[in-house]
Structure 1
Amino acid sequence: MSEGTSETKSEVTQHAGGDVEVFDKGTTKWIRLNRPERRNAYDGPMAHAIADVLEDVSTYHSVVITGSGGSFCAGGALTGLAEPDMKNMRGLYKASLRLFDAIRTCPRPVIAAVNGAAAGGGNELVVACDLAIAARSATFGQTGPKVGSSPVTGATNVMGVQIGEKRAKELSMLCRRYDAQRAYEMGLVNEVVGDDQLEQAVDAMCAELATKSPRYIEITKISSNLWWNAARDSFSTGLGMLVQAIGSPDMREGAQAFIDKRKPEFPDPA
């Protein structure tokens, strides 16, 4: 999808130092992650900036989240994880949870316009969104155990409801990558379109939502959070375990191997 969507530059607002761009298209609020040099991986300030926008969209009919530079989102930024700082890591985990909760409690439908790789927390971002349309070149997959982490905020719990437990464990444990068509077949996205048709398809879905009652769309959305709410304690417990694992040999090796672009050599099981 072109980054020069129908907005004009004067209509774009910058958040988190330009890492997040926000603009309007009719009755839809668009949020574009703008850190292409790290495949739009988010840090704490980025996640909080997105959540801030999501908490102030009551006058719109829908919200779209997309990426820049040919990537959707690579999840939480791995920079510094080889030598992790406890305070910063806690902050990133807390910001991630706030971001995903903001998507789910946002009164308007949130659509993922997946224009490229959705990896790790980026794949969980798709899980959190109410609806998702993918460009044909988009890819999907979890990275947790491969990089010294675990996808506890969506992939290990809610994704099982969406695509089935065995498939969710396959994504979460094996860390394979899937193309857009396979993601559609599994139920991870609602639609797959040509790369040059993504914006048009998203606009069409937003236009369709705009013909519906905002009041009853909100009731429908919040009611549909049954399984998300049921899994919410699992998120907190999982993040608590991740905090306890900060600085572990597995985290350090996974992050360093990712940075070095090599296969990790994790310690043998104790």
Structure 2
Amino acid sequence: MNFQDIIYEKKDRVAKIIINRPEKLNACTPVTVYEISKAFIDAWTDKSVGVVVFTGAGDRAFCVGGDQSIRDLGGYRGYSREELEGTIAALPLEVGWQIVTFLIRHIPKPVIARVNGYAVGGGHVWQVNCDLSIASEKAKFGQAGPRVGSFDPGFGTGDLWRNVGLKRAKEIWYLCRLYTAEEALKMGLVNTVVPHEKLDEEVEKWCSELLEKSPTALKMLKYAFLAETDGLAGITELGVGGLSLYYGTEESLEGRNAFMEKRKPDFWKYVNGR
């Protein structure tokens, strides 16, 4: 895959999605968001991938949200209809943002946020929605919506509340302050904080530990958390995960075979000790 705004790498069962706009503190355009969504979909469908690492290029920022320099009345501009025709990038940026957030939450593999600097605004929403967050001691966290005339009324508020509690979540959104990595750790925004020069080493360690675990068990655990937080949509994910396991049984295949052979199925010969 050829990308303009991101770097996408796969090695040793780890997929790395790197926002590559360091000169803009990895602020995103519609094209950036479209490319991130393509990479997440590829990591989802690639059975050799067990873990996804999501990060930003350079030493200054994970992501600071949407690129305000291309924002105008009605949303984010800067690209012609012809450039974006037929892609998710043709959607308003705020819609594409939610598609990426959905992919982070629903890809049946752990997603680690490697937070190397500023995680602000929409970038902060994304790191909150990742399964795990590993932060450099140089990282800064916070929301920017009300300061720049924006907000995230969905996962950006709900998951933040679940991470840090209602009062603190309101503080983060209403006041738009920046918090240090240590403050983020105390609040429950991240899992661990390490010296900046140790960030990659720590991320690799966590990836290795995850890859030692059953990928099916990790998938079903992720779906179980969604079932708790996402209502019927979450229960559907858990159910579909169970269905994929059922399709791998002789009992399920008996139904298909009986249909094709125009006979009554005999499911009970595959039931053992239920």
TM-score in same-fold range (> 0.5) = yes
Q: Normalising by structure 1, report the TM-score.
A: 0.76
Cross-structure match for 2:256: none
Is residue 167 of structure 2 the alignment partner of residue 166 of structure 1?
A: yes
> Structure 1 residues 171 and 47 mapped into 2: Cα distance closer, same or farther (>3 Å)?
same
* % identical aligned pairs: 36
C-alpha distance in 1 between matches for 2:179 and 2:130: 18
Q: Runs of 4 or more off by more than 6 Å in structure 1? A: none
Cross-structure match for 2:49: 60
Letter in 1 for 2:51: S
Cross-structure match for 1:118: 119
RMSD: 1.9
C-alpha distance in 2 between matches for 1:172 and 1:228: 20
Cross-structure match for 2:271: none
Aligned residues: 217
C-alpha distance in 2 between matches for 1:174 and 1:46: 28
SS in 1 for 2:69: coil
Cross-structure match for 1:266: none
Shift of 1:227: 5.3
Report matched runs for 1:1-270 at 5 Å. 14-15=2-3, 17=4, 19-57=5-43, 58-70=47-59, 71-81=61-71, 83-85=72-74, 88=77, 91-226=92-227, 228-230=229-231
Larger Rg: 2
Shift of 1:150: 1.1
Q: Which has the higher contact order (CA 8 A, sep 6+)?
A: 1
> Structure 1 residues 148 and 87 mapped into 2: Cα distance closer, same or farther (>3 Å)?
closer
Whichever structure has more helix as a proportion of its residues is 2
52-61 or 175-184, larger mean C-alpha shift: 52-61
Is this contact kept in 1: 2:75–2:93, CA < 8 A? no
C-alpha distance in 2 between matches for 1:124 and 1:148: 16
Structure 1 residues 55-75: Cα deviation after superposition (integer angstroms, max 9, x where no partner): 122321100011112211001
C-alpha distance in 2 between matches for 1:123 and 1:228: 19
Letter in 2 for 1:129: C
Structure 1 residues 86-125: Cα deviation after superposition (integer angstroms, max 9, x where no partner): 5859610110010000111111100000000000001101
Is this contact kept in 2: 1:64–1:112, CA < 8 A? yes
SS in 2 for 1:188: coil
Q: Normalising by structure 2, report the TM-score.
A: 0.75
Shift of 1:24: 2.2
Structure 1: 5+ residue stretches without partners: 1-12, 233-270
